[in-house]
Amino acid sequence: MHSRPHDPFVRVRGAREHNLQGVDVDIPRDVLAVFTGVSGSGKSSLAFGTIYAEAQRRYFESVAPYARRLIHQVGAPKVGEITGLPPAVSLQQRRSAPTSRSSVGTVTTLSNSLRMLFSRAGTYPEGAERLDSDAFSPNTAAGACPECHGLGRVHRTTEELLVPDPSLSIREGAVAAWPGAWQGKNLRDVLDTLGHDVDRPWRELPPEDREWILFTDEQPVVTVHPVRDAGRIQRPYQGTYMSARRYVMKTFSDSKSQTLRAKAERFLTSAPCPACGGSRLRPEAMAVTFAGRTIAELAALPLSELADALAGAADSSETARVLTGDLLARIATVTELGLGYLSPDRATPTLSAGELQRLRLATQLRSGLFGVVYVLDEPSAGLHPADTEALLTVLDRLKDAGNSVFVVEHHLDVVRHADWLVDVGPQAGEHGGKVLHSGPVAELAGVDASATARFLFNDEPPADRQVRTPQGWLKLGPVSRHNLREVTAEVPLGAFTAVTGVSGSGKSTLVGEITEELAGVGRLVCVDQKPIGRTPRSNLATYTGLFDVVRKVFAATGTAKERGYGVGRFSFNVAGGRCETCQGEGFVSVELLFLPSTYAPCPDCAGARYNPETLEVTYHGRNIAQVLDLTVEAAADFFADTDTPAVVRSLRTLLDVGLGYLRLGQPATELSGGEAQRIKLASELQRVRRGHTLYLLDEPTTGLHPADVEVLTHRLHELVDAGNSVVVVEHDMAVVAGADWVIDLGPGGGDRGGLIVAAGTPAQVARAEGSRTAPYLARARG
């Protein structure tokens, strides 16, 4: 195939990545194209795994010819040919966690501009020298407060924390902060040798001794003659003393062990740094102001207020006018995407994936790039229907600047707005992977096999249903946290509750108050979207416990018994059965000079994770690597004929929440937030329990096609019918309309929200005045 000059299409031929079945598809450039299809149908494999990956590969080749060899190793996407492909920029949600020092200001680069503003146009104290813009950054040596190294907080400890029970003697363990075992005994013996009474209650020791024992910076070395311990004679040795504070601080800052660090943290309180007052900056930088405030004060304002403050001082000088003009324009795009409640100093790990992606999107809008294809992953995630309009405007502007915008989306308003629709299906995994439609949205109407068509063109109002009568009420509050001020709420028990409101209105903060101690709840289960593991060593099978059973099954085979292979042999986490080249990861890391490091399949086991001997053991014709490679659906078939009821039950619950397309060994790092959440839900459903449980879910429909939403909602309603309570934070009005009770927060985000605007049945809330949710809920009720 030869592309004609000025051929306005991206033409994909023979795409076979993951489950794609030799897909041929033509998508026009310079349009907003939306990719739809049920979860696991192959949308991402086409948009990200093929189109974006190929653009990326070509980019690597062009900037670094030496990378060719490495790319070969990493693997190019499985596709015959792609023509007409512009360079691509991906804004994907499945990303590794950003560092804790990154913030809204750094992601949007607003921090840089603010620093420039302070450097060039700030008000300096009389006689002070102008500072470089670096001097306004806590992340540089030039700017960081020397006391707290730019962290803004300092850790302290007190006698009360270190010695919680002063009636104990040192021998009885008065110093709770000390390490256990030999090391703790050593410190005690050193003190004994130094002449301290280790058998008197702590509170009776002289204050100056207590002070020294806990807080000294001295580290005396003495010869310890250990007392006979259980008849064993121990030699004298040189013991070094270390005060409890020193030990705790050292462990907290240096220990590689998460457990030890967490233990040390219990003996510390953290307080704002006294030198910089938490601003993280040097005093010289804090002496400079703009609009009457320091840079730290401005960075703590929500963006919408920051804009007001900057606008007020814009004409203080010509430089100020230019620099604030640029800042204001950039803040405006972020605010437009419904994120005006965020402040530049807000740390990115506290943001949701959706918020982060929209921040990146806003940043791209100002980048001035054109002629590229942007590939996005569900930009509507976390967005209230009232803000979807703004999202569409932003996508249109990216397009109007001369770019192609390819979006994987489920939100029907976004789908309807598209210039072009690529519908993938018909089902998930091996039952999907075909393009059912590529063309204008309206033409999907004629495609019978499409699950999307059923929802896109369905005008029937949902069937009337009876709302449940609550079995009781859970009283929350008064809550004063983040933007909530003395808010009280009541959550019905034995019912399905939806918590709604625009992004930043306080939904997560409110439901975060629901705790196990609250009356009436037997057990609380939070099913969030946090990853089920942060390394490729955790996967679907290990998380659900399925893998334990599978390993037992393999250990019980004839071959395994003959060879003396136990359960451990079939683990890829310990030496023995695993491939040692990759230590059971299946991948090795490839360092690319100047580029982010990436992973390539292990040269020895080719991703199998096990050594050849282990792989010789088979169960019903498959080795353990092949079993891990099965999708949940295929595994259900495979195990159905075997005598393993526990495995079958576990697989059943995964199928029930629509995860049949995932592979058992799919690494945790490859799963989206929504998938992780459904895995957690499935493992909860698997545990049969009596008694009342409250299930709390934050946006469970993220990443789900309306058809998958139906399945999931059905499961949640079954839980309520079985006597449990369900509370969901939700933007999908189809789910909200089907709830028994709605709590609507708002009216806006941040300080403009934080109130309960309406609470009642969906019918009541749909009529509530002043609620931004009401009109959308009314529409969904038909």
Between 44 and 133, CB nearer to ligand ADP: 44
Which one among 103, 294, 483, 644 touches ligand ADP, defined by CB under 6 A? Answer: 483
Query: Which residue in the set 10, 12, 15, 19 belongs to the binding site for ligand ADP (CB under 6 A)?
Result: 19
Considering the complex, state which of residue 84 and residue 302 has its C-beta at the smaller distance from ligand ADP.
302
Question: Which of 506, 497, 500 lies closest to 477, judged by CA?
Answer: 506
Spatial neighbors of 458 by CB under 8 A, at least 6 apart, are: none
Q: Candidates 79, 107, 296, 579: give the one binding Zn ion (CB under 5 A).
A: 579
Q: Can you tell me the distance from the alpha carbon of 603 to that of 582, in angstroms, rounded to the nearest whole number? A: 9
Alpha carbon distances (Å) from 241 to 221, 246, 256, 504, 528: 6, 10, 22, 51, 45
Pick one of Zn ion, ligand ADP, none as the site partner of residue 509 (Cβ within 5 to 8 A by kind).
Answer: ligand ADP
Query: Which region, judged by CB under 6 A, interacts with ligand ADP, from 207-215, 497-505, 527-535, 676-684?
Result: 497-505
DSSP assignment, residue 336?
Answer: I
In contact, 760 and 768? CB cutoff 8 Å: yes
Residue 148 binds which of ligand ADP, Zn ion, none (CB < 5-8 A, kind-dependent): Zn ion
Phi-psi region of 576 (alpha: psi -120 to 50; beta: other; left: phi over 0): left
Per CB under 6 A, 509 contacts ligand ADP? yes
Stretch that binds ligand ADP, among 151-159, 212-220, 517-525, 661-669 (CB under 6 A): 661-669
Binding ligand ADP (rule: CB under 6 A), the pick from 296, 342, 441, 628 is 342
750 binds ligand ADP (CB under 6 A): yes
Question: Are residues 527 and 680 in contact, defined by beta-carbon separation less than 8 angstroms?
Answer: yes
Q: Per rule CB under 6 A, is residue 43 in the interface with ligand ADP?
A: yes
Tell me which of Zn ion, ligand ADP, none is bound by residue 145, counting a contact when its beta carbon lies within the kind-specific cut-off of 5 to 8 angstroms. Answer: Zn ion
Instruction: Name the pairing type of β-strands 237-240 and 269-272.
Output: unpaired
Q: Collapsing DSSP states into helix, strand and coil, what is residue 463?
A: coil
In the region spanning residues 582 to 601, those forming contacts with Zn ion, defined by CB under 5 A, are 582
DSSP line for 27-72: EESSSEEEEE-STTSSHHHHIIIIIIHHHHHHHHHHH-TTHHHHHH
In the complex, minimum distance from the CB of residue 613 to Zn ion, in angstroms, rounded to a whole number = 14
107 interacts with, out of Zn ion, ligand ADP, none, CB within 5 to 8 A per kind: none
Asked if 252 and 264 touch (Cβ cutoff 8 Å), the reply is yes
Peptide bond into 8 cis (omega under 30): no
Determine if 191 is a binding residue for Zn ion (CB under 5 A).
no
Cα gap 673→702, rounded to integer Å: 8
x/- binding map, residues 399-428, to ligand ADP, per CB under 6 A? -----------------------------x
Nearer to Zn ion, 150 or 660 (CB): 150
Q: Which is nearer to ligand ADP, 161 or 632 (CB)?
A: 632
Alpha helices in 196-268 (DSSP H): 207-215, 244-254, 258-265
Q: What are residue 530's phi and psi, to 5 degrees?
A: -65, 150
Among residues 346, 338, 352, the alpha carbon closest in space to that of 672 is found at: 352
Residue 505 contacts ligand ADP per CB under 6 A:
yes
Phi, psi of 225 (to 5 degrees): -105, 95
Q: Token digits for 155?
A: 């850790």
**Among the listed residues 553, 540, 554, 483, the one whose alpha carbon sits nearest the alpha carbon of residue 512:** 483
What does the alpha-carbon distance between residue 20 and residue 427 come to, in Å, rounded to a whole number? 12
Q: Which DSSP string do the residues of 108-132 spell out, in sequence order?
A: TTHHHHHHHHHHHHPBPPTTPPPPP
Task: For residue 296, state whether it binds Zn ion (rule: CB under 5 A).
Answer: no
8 A C-beta contact, residue 59 and residue 85: no
> Number of residues in contact with Zn ion, rule: CB under 5 A?
12
Measure the CA–CA gap between 618 and 634, rounded to whole angstroms: 17
209 binds Zn ion (CB under 5 A): no
> What's the rounded Cα separation, in Å, for the pair 606 and 603?
5
The yes or no reply on residue 138 touching ligand ADP (CB under 6 A) is: no
- Candidates 569, 606, 570, 568; CA nearest to 586 is 606
User: Are 316 and 324 a contacting pair, CB within 8 Å?
Assistant: no
Q: Which partner in ligand ADP, Zn ion, none is near 482 (CB below 5 to 8 A by kind)?
A: ligand ADP
Which residue of 275, 526, 600, 648 would you call a contact of Zn ion, by CB under 5 A? 275
Among 33, 34, 40, 285, binds ligand ADP (CB under 6 A): 40
Cα within 13 Å of Cα(63), Cβ side: 11
Piece of the chain touching ligand ADP by CB under 6 A; list 40-48, 107-115, 197-205, 682-690: 40-48
Work out what residue 647 binds among ligand ADP, Zn ion, none; the CB cut-off runs from 5 to 8 Å by kind: none
Residue 145 found at the interface with Zn ion (CB under 5 A): yes
* Residue 42 near ligand ADP by CB under 6 A: yes
- Residue type (1 letter), 336: E
**Considering the rule CB under 6 A, would residue 39 count as an interface residue with ligand ADP?**
yes
Question: Distance between CA 760 and CA 675 in Å, rounded?
Answer: 31
Q: Which of 132, 172, 613, 670 binds ligand ADP (CB under 6 A)?
A: 670
Stretch touching Zn ion by CB under 5 A, among 39-47, 227-235, 574-582, 729-737: 574-582
Residue 712 main-chain phi, psi, to 5 deg: -65, -45
Shortest approach of Zn ion to residue 586 CB, angstroms?
6
The partner in contact with residue 105, picked from ligand ADP, Zn ion, none with C-beta cut-offs of 5 to 8 angstroms by kind, is none
Q: By C-beta, is 344 or 506 nearer to ligand ADP?
A: 506
Q: Which residue among 23, 25, 273, 679 contacts Zn ion (CB under 5 A)?
A: 273
268-307 footprint of ligand ADP as x/- string (CB under 6 A): ----------------------------------------
The answer to whether residue 286 forms part of the interface with Zn ion (CB under 5 A) is no
Rounded Cα distance, 85 and 108, in Å = 27
| Under 8 Å between Cβ of 587 and 599 | yes
User: Is the CB of residue 362 less than 8 Å from the CB of residue 108?
Assistant: yes
Q: Pick one of ligand ADP, Zn ion, none as the site partner of residue 405 (Cβ within 5 to 8 A by kind).
A: none
Interacting partner of 504 out of Zn ion, ligand ADP, none (Cβ under 5 to 8 A depending on kind): ligand ADP
Of the residues 15, 45, 438, 700, which one makes contact with ligand ADP according to CB under 6 A: 45
> Angle between the 207-215 and 244-254 helix axes, to the nearest 10 degrees?
20
Q: Does 148 bind Zn ion (CB under 5 A)?
A: yes
Tell me: does residue 637 bind ligand ADP (CB under 6 A). Answer: no
C-beta atoms surrounding 778 within 10 Å: 17
User: Which span sits near ligand ADP by CB under 6 A: 261-269, 490-498, 659-667, 755-763?
Assistant: 659-667
Contact 27, 438 (CB under 8 A): yes
* Residue with Cβ nearer ligand ADP (47 or 248): 47
Selected from 12, 41, 605, 748, the binder of ligand ADP by CB under 6 A is 41
Between 112 and 508, name the residue whose CB sits nearer to ligand ADP. 508
Binding segment toward ligand ADP, per CB under 6 A, in 38-46, 261-269, 411-419, 733-741:
38-46
Select from 37-45, 71-79, 316-324, 584-592 the region that touches ligand ADP (CB under 6 A).
Answer: 37-45
Given ligand ADP, Zn ion, none, residue 316, with its beta carbon under 5 to 8 Å by kind, binds none
Q: Which amino acid is at 250?
A: K
3 state SS of 760 = strand
Q: Which of residues 61 and 305 has its CB atom nearest to ligand ADP in the complex?
A: 305
The interface with ligand ADP within residues 97-136 (CB under 6 A) comprises none
By CB under 6 A, is residue 202 in contact with ligand ADP? no
Taking each continuous run of H as one helix and of E as one strand, the counts in the chain are 31, 25
* Residue closest to 731 by CA, chosen among 696, 698, 779, 770: 698
The binding site for Zn ion (CB under 5 A) comprises: 145, 147-148, 273, 275-276, 579, 581-582, 602, 604-605
The binding site for ligand ADP (CB under 6 A) comprises: 18-19, 37, 39-45, 341-342, 350, 428-429, 482-483, 501, 503-509, 661-663, 670, 750
